Structure 1
Amino acid sequence: MSQRDEFIEEMKAKLDEWNAEIDKLTAQARQASDDARVKYQEDIEQLKKRQAETQQRLEELRHASEEAWDTVRQGMDDSWELMRKAFRDASSRFK
């Protein structure tokens, strides 16, 4: 497997893990008080937005030419960092 394929698979696996974590947070939000649930839903919607952006970057990465690979990979790294920050922020509010 090429380094490119390995990177794509690694990103897909991480995205799958975070999708599972979003599902867990959604379940926690359902059990929260009404006021807290509204805030949690806002956080979850933000996470889902970041997840969709990251998924889009992953698709771009899969289809990038060799010439565009470095540029698209940088975009993926940037998107991933935003997703990680949003997840960390939301998770801290759920605790």
Structure 2
Amino acid sequence: MSNKEAYEQKLQAKLDEMQAEVDKLKAKADEAEADARIEREKEIDRLEAKREEMREKLEEIRNSSDDAWDDIKTGAESAWNSLTESLDKARSRFKK
């Protein structure tokens, strides 16, 4: 397995884990009072947008040549860091 393939599998696994976390937050949002639910749904929408951005980066890596994927990796890592940060913020807000 090449480094590119290993990285693709790693990102896919992380995205799958992230989706499970988003699903948990959606369930919590459904249980919240109306005002809190609206705010939580907005937060989930932001998370899903960032997750989609990460999924697009993964597709770029999958479609890139073995020589070019390393350049795309930097953008993917930046997108992943942004997504992780957003998820951490959402988790802390949902605990309130």
Normalising by structure 1, we get a TM-score of 0.96
Shift of the alpha carbon at 1:88?
0.6
2:45 match: 45
1:3 match: 3
Distance 1:68 1:6 in 2: 15
Calculate the aligned-residue CA RMSD, in Å. 0.8
Shift of the alpha carbon at 1:72?
0.5
2:65 match: 65
**Identity %, equivalent residues:** 38
Aligned length: 95
> Where has structure 1 moved over 3 Å in runs of 4 or more?
none
Shift of the alpha carbon at 1:68?
1.7
Distance 1:67 1:7 in 2: 14
Distance 1:42 1:68 in 2: 36
1:30 match: 30
Partner-residue secondary structure (3-state), 1:67: coil
Q: Where in structure 2 are there 5+ consecutive unaligned residues? A: none
Normalising by structure 2, we get a TM-score of 0.95
